[in-house]
Amino acid sequence: MPLRALVAGGAGFVGSHLSEELLERGYEVVALDNLITGFTDNVSHLVGNPNFSHVNGDAEDAMTLPGHFDLVMHFASPASPPRYLAHPIETLHAGSNATEALLNVAQRDGARFIMASTSEVYGDPSVHPQTEEYWGNVSSTGPRSVYDEAKRYAEALTFAYHRTFGVDTGIVRLFNTYGPRMDPDDGRAVPAFVKAALNNVPIPLHGDGSQTRSLCYIDDQVRGILALAAARGETGPINIGNPHEQSLLEIAEAVIRLTGSTSNIELHPRPVDDPERRQPDITKARAILSWSPEVEVEEGLARTIAWFREHGTFKGLLTETAATPA
């Protein structure tokens, strides 16, 4: 019998790639997703696989799913500012109610539990690069708090289940993931820049572009996440990200160059509590998981752009005019 994995948020950007890779590794996969921010299109290519099933439902109801699970992966949450600001209560529940329900499944089944945390737990950091020991600089009342504090609570709850009930838990803190299947309208930098560039319209840059991000390609992220899943007994938290730090202006300029776009860059007001810098310290990931990113940013951007070109009209990324070959 194959090992059985529950991927909460399995029709989302990261969750769909995890589901795909777990199937490649011989798992039976149940992707649980209520489609608030996930898309059935992300897993439509998996539906014919007899070891895959998509359950349209809430992670809060995970205990009602039939069968036994060997691995429980919590990737069920809106993850971009426009999405979690549009669904603030659901985002808080993803960190609280859903986390507890999924931990209960792991406790019941003796499963390995992996929780997707985020670099946002560091807030607008006063420590650079960010190590796992840094406690963060996060507003508990600002507009981004519904996501940041939900993840911080989920981390605390995960460790409480580990200490109280002996659940085999692990936490990954993900940094700036990008790649195919990103929602072009979710407000994150890469899809926003690519969408504008492919349509030859101004690229929206919030602030002056000097704030930094550290982009990690989805294939590298998935390798790191599953390396922690395989490291039973290792709790983390462990940063999984690319330590190659770039300004948003540099990223926008790279997208223009790689697309051959005629777009210019258009400055917009910077969002409240937008972090100034992002760069993971991945010393622990290298030492404990033997993991580091392999895909260079420009190569990853080229792959992402190629995917969006292919799927653009279908995904709403390209206008019909832009999608028509010259």
Which residues are known to be catalytic? 147
Q: Which of 302, 29, 48 is nearest to 178 (CA)?
A: 302
Burial 169-201 (b: 16+ CB within 10 A, else e): bbbbbbbbbbbbbbbbebbbbbbbbbbbbbbbb
**Cα–Cα separations (whole angstroms), residue 87 to 79, 143, 236:** 11, 12, 28
Residue 308, CB-side half-sphere exposure with 13 Å CA sphere: 30
Cα–Cα dist 242/205, whole Å = 22
Give 175-208 as a 3 state SS string. CCEECCCCCCCCCCHHHHHHHHHHCCCCEEEECC
Cα–Cα dist 31/8, whole Å = 6
Residue 127: both structure tokens together: 């420590």
The radius of gyration computed from the CA coordinates of the chain, to the nearest angstrom, equals 19
**Cα–Cα separations (whole angstroms), residue 208 to 245, 247, 250, 269, 298:** 16, 10, 11, 9, 22
Which residues lie closer than 8 Å to 192 by C-beta, 6 or more apart?
A: 184, 203, 204
* φ, ψ of residue 38 in degrees (nearest 5): -90, 170
Instruction: Point out which residues pair with 166 in neighbouring strands.
Output: none
